Amino acid sequence: LSSGTAYYGVAEWGKEQVVAGINRTQQTVAFRLDPINEPVTCHLQLAGQLVSGHKTFWFCMWVLGKQDYTSGRPDFPVMANAPKNGMPAMFIISVALHPDTLGGKRIPATNWFHGGGGSAVDHTANSTRHFNITPEKGILVSHNDDFPRLITDGDSVLMVSSRSKWFGWSKKHDPFDPEYVVTTGDTIINYTQRRIIWINNWLVKNYRVDPDHIALQGYSMGSAGASALAKAYPDYFSSICAFNNGFRGTEESDPETIHGTIAENLPTNLKGPDGEVIHMNQVWDMTTPISKSRDLPLFRTWAGKNDNNNRMHWAPDLIKQYRKADSLAYGMQISWDERLHVYETLGMHWIHGYSDTAQTYRDNLAYQEYFSNRQSYPAFYNHRLYPNNNDPGSGSPGINQGDGDNWGTWGGWHNWDLQEITDETDRWEVTAWLTGEAAYANDICPHQSLTSDLAIRRPQQFNPEPGSAVKWYVIDLSRDDTLQQGNARVDANGLVHASGITLYRDPRRVRIQFVSGSLTSVHRPLSDWEASKWRLGQNYPNPFHTSTTIEFQANGNEAVKLVIYDYLGQKVKDLINERTPAGPHTAVWDGTDDKGKRLSTGLYFFQLQIGSYTITKKCLLLR
């Protein structure tokens, strides 16, 4: 809490003179800083409703600009240099039709970054249908990257709409000086990144946003900005989807005057893992760490072999980054197909049309809402080293020329159960599989099995000491057999990983276990007698319309859990969670979720767990 007095004045652009009583206050004006009782806030400009029924809210904020980018208020950082002090910034919130806020529950937020020729207005709920950016549980936050500045055009001076590429601009940049060009020796400050982070913090405080479920999505220039933000603040975000990102520097006629050229490679205010200064070219690539955090959010990217955009185009340098990323155990899910840069015509492998059944579910905004920045995940990598995995080729543009696969993915088939991750001090486990059922047939893995390496990213409690021993197991859940096992050493960075892990197409699922060197396997294979007693019985009818009955056997000595999951592996209902007497039992599922809501037609899974033993089967609900 602080207070004081100051004169306040207003001057026209390009003029600095202020005169008392004319454009400056006659007397000093009292001010006070009280972040607790009078916090800085965003201002609602417009509230409306889309044709789709989604409510939208347009907000504006005014940035704080100072030459010293470290001198902001405790609750309001410097987001611009002095010439842009007080400039407005706009963002739009689109709310899910049925956000779940019962009992004070918080909701997920997904940030959308537009491309170089777009704006936030173009990307509200139910728009951008080729990516399906409509929220289902929380909100879509569409931001604007606008950097208006003056330029000379012959004898005229014009105001043009420029952009910061979702990063920032130089400390010295004066957008109202038409002759200004960034020079060697200047530093690029991440003003725009700071603004996005502050807005999200504001949403957490004022809009019931869950800080553990904040995701990023962007197209073209927006994908570059989303990637850079995820690299700079990796602990803040849960997942990122980058569409048509070339992962290249910033050389282009317009941004040159803001960021400098690739050759200049100007420094930024960011610091790397060892405290080193991060330069502009490092900001945009796919693999260079630009923060002290070891792990990135779950990262997905799509590109097109027919993309000829000047910065985002398909080329050998992009494929070089793909191959390096696949080798570094980040677990990036890299996909490509026949797409152009602008989606004027659909018909690519991952996007055949606008309906849900003609697209991949992976890039849906609603899919990102399930992931958390406080949950570990299996990072599958080194796909290119094993049989049956796709290959993007050399980077030669175009399709049908024998240069790699026209479409493919590294990691895009891989799934895991977000509800069944065990992350404890002495063990880590996950249930994993390859996509076997999906609304869009092209999402289904064409192979019965695929092999890759696996690392544990974002571990919460399972952090064995570097150099220590771990054991790992791959257990078939349907037969309860140990399919693979091995020993590994934790690397110098504390990363736990294993080589040659094989997953199978759903419904065949495996449980992957890592245990510390002080433990033996936490898995005991079922005997034939136990397997026959505990095996999940058939549900009938299957397919079913209104309800289905599930039969199973229990031995009466351990707790029984029977859970319903959707085809994405998300839990929809607990049917049984109690100790159950020995003998045969039945459970009836009426096709509703935990709140009694009728679920739509689709594939669902029953999972029975008795003690540490788990068996899964599928059924089809018809409406």
Q: What is the pLDDT of residues 122-144, one digit of tens each?
A: 999 999 999 999 999 999 999 99
> Among 64-73, 108-117, 327-336, 578-587, whose mean pLDDT is lowest?
578-587
Q: How confident is the model at residue 256 (pLDDT cuts 50, 70, 90)?
A: low
- Residue 526 and residue 570 in contact, taking contact as beta carbons nearer than 8 Å: no
**Residue-wise burial string across 124-161, b where 16 or more C-beta atoms lie within 10 A, e elsewhere:** bbbbbbbbbbbbbbbbbbbbbbbbebbbeeeeeeeeee
Which pTM was predicted? 0.82
Q: How confident is the model at residue 441 (pLDDT cuts 50, 70, 90)?
A: very high
Write down the pLDDT at residue 250: 65
463 versus 606: which is more confidently predicted? 463
Write down the pLDDT at residue 36: 79
Would you tell me how many other CB atoms lie within 10 Å of the CB of residue 109? 25
Q: Identify the burial level of 384 via C-beta atoms within 10 angstroms of its C-beta, where 0-12 means exposed, 13-18 middle and 19 or more buried.
A: middle
pLDDT for 419 beyond 50: yes
pLDDT for 569 beyond 50: yes
37 versus 392: which is more confidently predicted? 392
> Among 2-11, 226-235, 426-435, whose mean pLDDT is lowest?
2-11
What SS3 state is found at 534?
A: helix
Q: How confident is the model at residue 533 (pLDDT cuts 50, 70, 90)?
A: very low
What SS3 state is found at 152?
A: strand
Question: Closest Cα to residue 214, out of 318, 124, 112, 127?
Answer: 112
Write down the pLDDT at residue 612: 61
Question: Closest Cα to residue 86, out of 166, 9, 182?
Answer: 9
Q: How confident is the model at residue 200 (pLDDT cuts 50, 70, 90)?
A: very high
How do beta strands 536-540 and 548-554 pair? antiparallel
Write down the pLDDT at residue 161: 81
pLDDT for 37 beyond 50: yes
Write down the pLDDT at residue 254: 52
Instruction: For residue 48, list its beta bridge partners.
Output: 56
Q: How confident is the model at residue 102 (pLDDT cuts 50, 70, 90)?
A: confident
- Residue 172 and residue 80 in contact, taking contact as beta carbons nearer than 8 Å: no
Write down the pLDDT at residue 554: 74
- Model pLDDT for residues 180-191, shown as the tens digit of each residue: 888 878 999 999
Write down the pLDDT at residue 255: 52
pLDDT for 521 beyond 60: no
Q: How confident is the model at residue 614 (pLDDT cuts 50, 70, 90)?
A: low
pLDDT for 236 beyond 90: yes
The listed range with the strongest mean pLDDT (2-6, 237-241, 571-575, 603-607) is: 237-241
What SS3 state is found at 603?
A: strand
Write down the pLDDT at residue 582: 79
pLDDT for 342 beyond 80: yes
Give the ranges where 520-562 is alpha helix by DSSP (H).
528-534
pLDDT for 203 beyond 80: yes
Would you tell me how many other CB atoms lie within 10 Å of the CB of residue 381? 23
> Among 290-299, 458-467, 561-570, whose mean pLDDT is lowest?
561-570
Write down the pLDDT at residue 613: 63
Q: How far apart (Å, rounded) are the C-alpha atoms in residues 129 and 151? A: 35
Cis peptide bond upstream of 507, omega within 30 = yes
Write down the pLDDT at residue 14: 65
618 versus 164: which is more confidently predicted? 164
Write down the pLDDT at residue 13: 65
Q: How confident is the model at residue 154 (pLDDT cuts 50, 70, 90)?
A: confident
pLDDT for 158 beyond 90: no
> Among 9-13, 41-45, 163-167, 272-276, whose mean pLDDT is lowest?
9-13
Q: How confident is the model at residue 520 (pLDDT cuts 50, 70, 90)?
A: very low
Write down the pLDDT at residue 362: 94
How confident is the prediction for the chain on average, in pLDDT?
A: 89
Write down the pLDDT at residue 528: 42
In single-letter form, the type of residue at position 313 comes to H
Q: How far apart (Å, rounded) are the C-alpha atoms in residues 403 and 314? A: 12
pLDDT for 607 beyond 60: yes
Cis peptide bond upstream of 316, omega within 30 = no
- Model pLDDT for residues 112-123, shown as the tens digit of each residue: 999 988 999 999
In sequence order, what DSSP letters do the residues of 240-280 get, joined into one string?
Answer: EEEES-------STTTHHHH--TTT--EEEEE-TTSPEEEH
Q: How far apart (Å, rounded) are the C-alpha atoms in residues 148 and 171? A: 16
